[in-house]
Structure 1
Amino acid sequence: MHENSDGPRARLIVGISGASGVVYGLRLLEALQALPVESHLVMTKSAEITLAYETDLKVRQVQALADVVYPIEDIGAAISSGSFRTLGMVIAPCSIRSMSEIATGVTSNLLTRAADVTLKERRRLVLMLRETPLHSGHLRSLLALSDMGAVVAPPVPAFYANPQTIQDLVDQSVGRVLDLFDLQSPLVTRWGEPDEHGKVVRARKRKTKV
């Protein structure tokens, strides 16, 4: 469902859970503002606590970045129904608790319910999982989610783009997530393609010692 002259804008659900890395959700919302996509935000209570630890922003400032905002307790919200058409959902960041609820189908709030609906409707669900190391129980749950069609996309830093700041690392991860929905974003530095300065990113040749 993409934007056209006769219909509504495409919709993407953005979930922010309580894991560390709330900046990923914030940057995703900012990036969507520049795209023909309507963002639908739901944050957990734990995410609000993490927001206070990791940023100087207030919850209302985060909500202002989205087109539509839902209370976490509103299990009757539009995004809890499969008849409400979306491109899918990104949880950025995704906590182990949220991941585990989605993997079992035993959902307790609107974020995990919306993710479950995304899976049952065979839409794309992307989980920017923020946890390390992982034990075998986590890995089994992640395998189950992958088998159900979810995309597990931990925000692993990409160093080939020669990042200079933390923002560069965040942008690359968020841009690659948007790629998963075929949403073109200038945030990504692409291998073998010119960057914003016209420089083509390729592997550097290393001098070998004889």
Structure 2
Amino acid sequence: MAPSEASSGTGRRYKGALLSVGLVGAVLVGIGVWRGSVDPPVDVPDSVCGLDLPGSAVEPLLPERGDAFEQSDFTFHPDRLGSVPQSCVLSAAGEQVRLGVQTILFTDDFDRAAAARKAELPGHAPVRLGDALGDSHANSVSLYVPCLTGDGKENLLAFTVGVSGDGTLRQRGLVPRTAALTADLARNLAPRAKDCKVKNALPSGPPSTG
């Protein structure tokens, strides 16, 4: 065979191999797109954690499609709010939203002034809802609600919502939505705390975030 014919045959085989690889790649991409398109939508119930917390406030913090919605580590008992932390974990498609509450006894180390200073630390940003002060940091938002014990001592009810995922809440544009869910949690549970009465009702609407 002449050199030119051998070269031509080799070129055709090379182009054919490239075409085959391209077709296989296109098929694999198509399968990936098809599989993604048939993942079921995440169905969040109207209310979560056994409370009057709207599921619509949780939906933006979880993936739209993937594994089914679940609730776990469900320890909220509004009538027994105290120093023992309580929580509820909501998950779907490998991501989680963790809601928590605990009573913080006022000490020289942490009070309302300390909560305000915490919000000014590097990487933190202030969050406020009426008398409640708090902050956003990394993947969570906290609100500290003043309350009075039976003997008149002032403590704090600490409400926190954390969201899993890559990047901080601020990088993902989720601070306002996470803060709104934290406010919903505080409005729902704070008035029901028996051992520490909230001094002033929390206002409706989203908290301010800075």
Is TM > 0.5 for Structure 1 vs Structure 2? no
Give TM class, smaller chain: under 0.3
Larger Rg: 2
TM-score (norm 2): 0.24
